[in-house]
Structure 1
Amino acid sequence: MASRLASISVDLDSLHHYCRIHGLPETVLDARARGLVYAKAVPRFRELWGALGVPGTFFAIGEDLADAGAAEALRQAQAAGVEIANHSFSHDYALSRRAPESIHEDLARGEQAILAATGTRPVGFRAPGYTLNAALYAATAARGYRYGSSAFPAAPYYAAKATVMGALALAGRPSRSVLDSPRVLLAPREPYRPDPRQPYRRGTGTVVELPMTVTPGARFPFIGTFAATLPMSFIRAAYLACRGSALFNFELHAVDVLDATDGIPAELVRQQRDLQVPAARKMERLATLFRWLKADADTVTLREAAERLAPGL
């Protein structure tokens, strides 16, 4: 068995969240576009994982599961072996800035929605917008989560996000996204137990943190959007730089297997440029990357990764 671990996870952010990021009115989306994540993206990821024989983790947003079709798609994914984890109920980018009782309520509602859809309570959590703080970490600990996967210590991503948010504000179309504390840039790259008071530092917290993979040194993010669109030579070099990690935590989003022909409005495609890349081409690229992971590491769900890594942290 390979000593290294690798996990593939997908945030099931619906398209209206991208409208919020880009300062677009959600009215640009019709009912079909609002349902594309569960109608198209979820089956495509299941097809990829099934064909390659690798497991995956879906981070679901609770409010989306009020739709019967979405709930059924999630139930079928779990029945096929996909882990379902909590990505909050409302995907409020400012969740970490709420009062503690409000944070607890949001997590609880997300858990209940997933439980109702799948029959299983989630044990993993990822914060909306990757933004973690002491109050949010405390809520996951109090609610008995086994792991979190919110830390994203990617300096280029942080700088790009700050630039885009500033440009949108100047254009009079402010983003509803939130810029995290600069402390995240110094967070560990490897799995760790956080300090509950400062969860981007090592400590003795009960909820293991599984950061998303970034390269050593420059801390370039190895995530779906970049891996599916940048030159393959660059991606291969970044991949090789990360091979020494105890856990290769490859994070993607549902839009990484969608494109403009799926019925996404032109206004959003212009802003979210990876949607201009054909979905078939992106899926071919992702299949290649998943094969690399399968060949180089023991591919597991994030839940299993946390269980195997926790005793040594």
Structure 2
Amino acid sequence: MALRLASISVDLDSLQHYCRIHSLPESVLDSRARGLVYATAVPRFQELLRAVGAPGTFFAIGEDLADAGAAAALKAAHASGIEVGNHSFSHDYALTRRAPDSMREELVRGEEAIFAATGTRPVGFRAPGYTLNAALYAATAERGYLYGSSTFPALPYYGAKAAVMGALALAGRPSRSILDNPRVLLAPRTPYRPDPAQPYRRGKGAVLELPMTVTPGLRFPFIGTFATTLPLPAVRAAWRACRGDALFNFELHGVDVLDAADGIPPELVRQQRDLRVSSARKLERLATIFRWLKEDADVVTLRVSAERLAQTV
């Protein structure tokens, strides 16, 4: 059975955020490395999407857009037809632990930065670290968002993240990331309307949730890191397992088209092992997967997916 819809989204997390995950000092990044996602990854994704004839959605972090080069790159991407969603202002991994007023401020400041760069206000939100709770969901509803795309019910990812965070803590270098509520592992894996009080459950919330794709059963994550590093037969098997879903929501990050040769410090490359794979190889793999999507689905932005699904979910 062919997919009805597919979307490709890219979180534009700068390398500073990977330093925070791995408890590395941000001083290991020079000025070029700090700007690599917008200076190098954004154009690569633009060209890849253009080459295969697919639209995309970029999730931008507001504070990054204070840099004129980053703002110009996002403006150019938006002008080419790419949707821009809100990934918060500061990408605080512990956003769900803040007071409600602080959560709203993160949304508003992110919106303002994106509007200043592109001239368009975002209608989609993705939480830092994929972590959602009732207060943050309420903030998106209050701000009038059409959709959220934060739910990531991937058991292998959750287990790996817990292991890495535990190892860093034992080493006396705690990660600034946080572990989500285990309830996320039982969340719907296909588009749904959340219960506002428990957004990892179905309900009648105003903001449609578009989970990132995981396979049925084992809930293996189909995201950029795995799609670009695993053997192609394994990736194809995961793809085929999801072909009956209403939406294939393929989530990536800017680093998924970067490698060590781009000027990333070795300290970060040692921790973020997918950076050891050449960008050329990763781009080739992504082009293959994007073509699968084009062959079997109507590939649209997340905004269009939400608009089409809103009346049926």
C-alpha displacement of 1:50: 0.3
The 1:271/1:3 distance shift into structure 2, 3 A limit, reads closer
Q: How does 1:186-205 map to 2 (within 5 A)?
A: 186-205=186-205
Paired residue type of 1:302: L
Name 1:45's counterpart in structure 2. Answer: 45
SS in 1 for 2:252: strand
Root-mean-square deviation (CA, aligned residues, Å) is: 0.6
Tell me the distance in 2 between the aligned counterparts of 1:26 and 1:285.
30
For 2:13 and 2:105, how far apart are their aligned partners in 1?
20
Question: Is it true that 1:103 corresponds to 2:103 in the alignment?
Answer: yes
Matched, 1:292 2:313: no
The secondary structure found in structure 1 opposite 2:144 is coil
Once residues 180 and 82 of structure 1 are traced to their aligned partners in structure 2, the CA distance between those partners, rounded to angstroms, is: 29
1:129 corresponding residue in structure 2: 129
User: Does the 8 A contact of 2:3 with 2:243 survive in 1?
Assistant: no
Equivalent pairs counted in the alignment come to 312
* 1:233 positional shift: 0.8
* Match of residue 275 from structure 2: 275
Q: Aligned in 2, Cα 1:3/1:158: closer, same or farther, shift over 3 Å?
A: closer
Match of 2:64 in 1: 64
Matches of 1:231 and 1:237, distance apart in 2: 10
Q: Which residue of 2 aligns with 1:255?
A: 255
The normalised TM-score by structure 2 is: 0.99
Per-residue CA deviations over 1:97-128 (Å, capped at 9, x if unaligned) read 10000000010000000000000000000000
The one-letter code matched in structure 1 to 2:77 is A
Distance of 1:88 and 1:262 partners within structure 2: 26
Taking a change above 3 Å as real, the CA distance of residues 177 and 146 of structure 1, as seen in their structure-2 partners, is same
CA distance in 1, matches of 2:3, 2:266: 45
Matched residue, 1:154: 154
Report if aligned partners of 2:3, 2:244 keep a CA contact under 8 Å in 1: no
Q: Deviations over 1:264-304 (max 9, x none)?
A: 00000000000000000000000000000000000000000
Stretches of structure 1 that go unaligned for 5 or more consecutive residues are none
Q: Corresponding residue for 1:75?
A: 75
The 2-side partners of 1:17 and 1:53 are apart by: 30
Deviation of 1:77 (Å): 0.4
Structure 2 counterpart SS, 1:238:
helix
Give a deviation string over 1:118-177, Cα, whole Å, max 9, x none: 000000000000000000000000000000000000001000000000000001111000
- TM-aligned CA deviation for residue 59 of structure 1: 0.1
The alignment partner of 2:229 has SS state of coil
Matched residues in 2 for 1:180 and 1:297: separation? 31
- 2:284 and 2:104 map into 1 onto residues whose CA distance is 40
C-alpha displacement of 1:3 = 5.9
Q: Which runs of 4+ in 1 moved over 6 A?
A: none
CA distance in 1, matches of 2:121, 2:237: 38
Alpha-carbon distance in structure 1 between the residues aligned to 2:172 and 2:276: 25
Equivalent residue letter for 2:92? D
Distance 1:55 1:171 in 2: 43
1:302 aligns with 2:302: yes
Query: SS of the counterpart of 1:311?
Result: coil
User: 1:233 aligns to what?
Assistant: 233
Matched, 1:11 2:6: no
- 5+ residue gaps, structure 2: none
Q: Aligned AA for 1:154? A: A
Contact 2:57 2:85 in 1 (8 A): yes
Contact in 1 for aligned 2:3/2:296 (Cα 8 Å): no
SS in 2 for 1:228: helix
Give the structure-1-normalised TM-score: 0.99
